[in-house]
């Protein structure tokens, strides 16, 4: 075999390996989304959320939701078990109060909106103003959307995006209960089905992006942040609550399906998250640790913390 033929054969073999690796990654990402969708479909009261390619493609271009119960994105995440049911309302309210929500927040939201999920209070850190447009990544039952609507009235708009059809149905039912109240304060609220990696939102139409313990669930976080940047207007703000890792996570944790869907296995490190935000084009990146997250695996604590993640899209440059 000539040197040229050998080189050509090696290059072809390398291309095949790259194609195989790409197909494996795509398959793993699909499986991960399906797993997460099934879990949060159960929380929302739906069933069979992940079955069938038609459901995956037509019903959900999707990523999922931020959900936290009993100090995690699920009622028993810290032992790796997936939740079977939505927590009782009293438990959900108690969990939300611990995360920094006010009693008035719980009172103002419609029944069924607060599922006791999340790892922070993104509305409280976003400094919303009347008339602004807010996008919630992984809006779930709509809890944070309803609170944001109160802040951007009058004349504001809130868009919730979630990949789980059952969650979307629940949020829309909750919105129907509050329609007269929203009309009184002149706020537009809507919920859209979609993946946070492929947001169903036009370019530069959003002032503020919020999210609550959702980005960690995505298998492609850099793409999520790139999409967030795309949809923000110049000068727009990103204000999210999420779980991050302060050190490397064992492969067993990252590959455990229950821990991934429980918002722990997919947690990025602080350095990774900051790097992805800057690579997407954000400025004034700030990641503030708010508290340790109770989590244990094989008898050892995992380096997981809740964090406030903030960044800004640059203002439009002015040519001289």
- Going through the chain in order, the beta strands assigned E by DSSP cover 133-137, 157-162, 188-193, 206-212, 232-245, 283-292, 296-297, 300-301, 304-312
3-state secondary structure of 129: coil
Q: What is the pTM of this model?
A: 0.77
Residue 319 inside a domain? The answer is: no
Residue 320 inside a domain? The answer is: no
Residue 63 inside a domain? The answer is: yes
Q: 73: which strand partners?
A: 69
If one compares 115 and 160, the residue with the highest pLDDT of the two is 160
Residue 37, pLDDT > 80, answer no
Residue 117 inside a domain? The answer is: yes
Residue 115 inside a domain? The answer is: yes
Residue 112 φ then ψ, to 5°: 95, -10
Domain with 175 in it: what CATH number?
Answer: 3.40.50.150
Q: Is-contact 121 148, C-beta < 8 A?
A: no
- Looking at residue 316, what is its pLDDT? 78
- Give the confidence band of 318 by pLDDT, cuts at 50, 70, 90: very low
User: What's the rounded Cα separation, in Å, for the pair 124 and 101?
Assistant: 8
* Structural domains of the chain, count: 1
Domain hosting 103: range is 3-312
Residue 128 inside a domain? The answer is: yes
Residue 132 inside a domain? The answer is: yes
Residue 69 inside a domain? The answer is: yes
Q: Is-contact 135 157, C-beta < 8 A?
A: no
Q: What digits encode the pLDDT tens for the residues 62-81? A: 333 333 333 345 433 333 34
């Amino acid at each position: 075999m000539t040197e040229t033929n050998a080189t050509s054969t090696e290059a072809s073999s390398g291309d095949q390996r790259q194609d195989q690796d790409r197909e494996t990654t795509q398959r793993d990402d699909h499986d991960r989304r399906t797993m997460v969708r099934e879990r949060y479909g159960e929380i929302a009261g739906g069933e069979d959320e992940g079955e069938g390619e038609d459901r995956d493609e037509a019903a959900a271009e999707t990523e999922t939701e931020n959900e936290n119960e009993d100090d995690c994105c699920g009622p028993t995440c810290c032992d790796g078990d997936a939740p079977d049911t939505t927590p009782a309302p009293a438990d959900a309210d108690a969990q939300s109060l611990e995360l920094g929500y006010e009693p008035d927040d719980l009172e103002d939201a419609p029944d069924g909106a607060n599922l006791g999920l999340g790892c922070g209070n993104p509305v409280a850190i976003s400094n919303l103003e009347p008339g602004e447009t807010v996008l919630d990544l992984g809006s779930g039952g709509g809890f944070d959307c309803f609170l944001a609507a109160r802040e951007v009235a009058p004349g504001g708009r809130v868009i919730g995006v979630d990949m789980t059809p059952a969650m979307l149905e629940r949020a829309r039912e909750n919105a129907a209960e509050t329609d007269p109240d929203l009309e009184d304060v002149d706020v537009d609220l809507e919920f859209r089905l979609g993946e946070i990696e492929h947001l169903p939102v036009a370019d530069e139409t959003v002032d503020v992006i919020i999210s609550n313990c959702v980005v960690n669930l995505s298998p492609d976080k850099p793409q999520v942040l790139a999409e967030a940047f795309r949809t923000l207007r110049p000068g727009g703000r990103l204000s999210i609550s999420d779980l991050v890792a302060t050190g490397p996570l064992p492969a067993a944790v990252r590959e455990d399906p229950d821990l991934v869907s429980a918002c722990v296995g997919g947690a990025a490190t602080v350095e990774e998250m900051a790097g992805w935000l800057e690579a997407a084009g954000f400025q004034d990146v700030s990641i503030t640790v708010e508290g340790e997250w109770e989590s244990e695996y094989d008898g050892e604590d995992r380096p997981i913390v809740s964090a406030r993640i903030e960044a800004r899209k640059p203002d439009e440059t002015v040519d001289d």
